[in-house]
Structure formats: C-alpha cells, structure tokens
Amino acid sequence: MQPSPRKRAMEHPEPKTITKRDLVQRIADSTGQTKVLVRDIIQRFLDEVSQELVRGNRLEFRKFGVFEVRSRPGRTAQNPKTLAKVQVPPKRVVKFKVGNVLKKRVEATAPPEAGASAPPAPPAAGPSSAGGFGGGGFGTGPSPTGTD
C-alpha cells in the first residue's frame, strides 16, 4: 500500500528555494561584511559568469563544476495535441556538469528511500575546510594551470 501524499510530504519535504538575498544575508553574517558589499560582489560575479557564457567560453570551478555553452541543432518536433509538425530553430543552451566534490557531498546527504534509514550527516564544512571546494575561496591566487 502506498503512503498517502501527506505522509510522503512529511517523509520528504520539498526543498526550499534559496534566493540571492538569502545568500547575501548568510555571507554577510558569516564574514562581517555589509550586505551591500556582499550583494555587489555576488552580482559582479554573476555578471562575469554570464558575460563569459555569452561569449561562448567555458567556466571551470574545480571540484564544484563546469558551465559551458552547447549548440543544439534545429529539428522537427510534433505538437502532441494537434499532431502538427513544428520546426524548432537551432539554439545555444548552458550546460552544467557537476564536479566530483559537489557530487559526493550531494549524494552523501540524499534523502533516504522509503523504509531505509538515513545516512549519518557529514560534518559541517565551510569552503575552506578539508571537505570544501578550494583552498580559501576565490581570489587566493592563480592555479598552477591558470584555469581556475
């Protein structure tokens, strides 16, 4: 017998949506910087990432993941209601490939399957701790390969 939708929702609550404002608040609180400064830095970072993707460049954040632009060819699709053929034009899309450290961290905290016990929670780790994504965050100097 399947659990009721309400019981299922209690077992696996919906993930929360975290906004840029939420991240700004967290970072400002943890660093002692003003929210205005943190917001401006995050916005500048996002603007730079966007500009590089528009230019067609690949962005690699070691251990976190890679953003790149892929070209999709045009194709013929079918409207499921009317069964009419529709031409879909070629387009460019952004693809994200998750890095190994992020992948392992997400998998380690995945919600348990129904009836299974939850895995132990990993210790809380900030970006500069042993389980983090780098040696101290952005701006700590160039990598040996110059690709960070």
Q: What is the CATH number of the domain that holds 80?
A: 4.10.520.10
Considering the domain boundaries, does residue 29 fall inside one?
Answer: yes
- Report if residue 131 sits inside a domain: no
Task: pLDDT band for 109, please (50, 70, 90 cuts).
Answer: confident
Does 19 map to a domain? Answer: yes
Structure confidence by residue, pLDDT tens digits, 73-97: 999 999 999 999 999 999 999 999 9
Within a domain: 140: no
Q: Which long-range contacts (CB under 8 A, 24 or more apart) does 104-113 make?
A: 105/131, 111/12
Is residue 145 a part of any domain in this protein? Answer: no
Q: Do the domain assignments include residue 114?
A: no
- When divided into structural domains, the chain yields a total of 1
Above pLDDT 70, what percent of the chain? 66
HEC assignment per residue over 79-141:
CCCCCCEEEECCEEEEEEEECHHHHHHHHHCCCCCCCCCCCCCCCCCCCCCCCCCCCCCCCCC
pTM, entire model? 0.63
Q: What residue numbers bound the domain in which 9 lies?
A: 5-108
Question: Per the domain annotation, does 31 fall within a domain?
Answer: yes
In this structure, is residue 117 part of a structural domain? no
The residues, ordered by sequence, that sit 6+ positions from 90 with a Cβ below 8 Å of its Cβ are 71, 72, 73, 74
pLDDT in tens, 36-75: 999 999 999 999 999 999 999 999 999 999 999 999 999 9
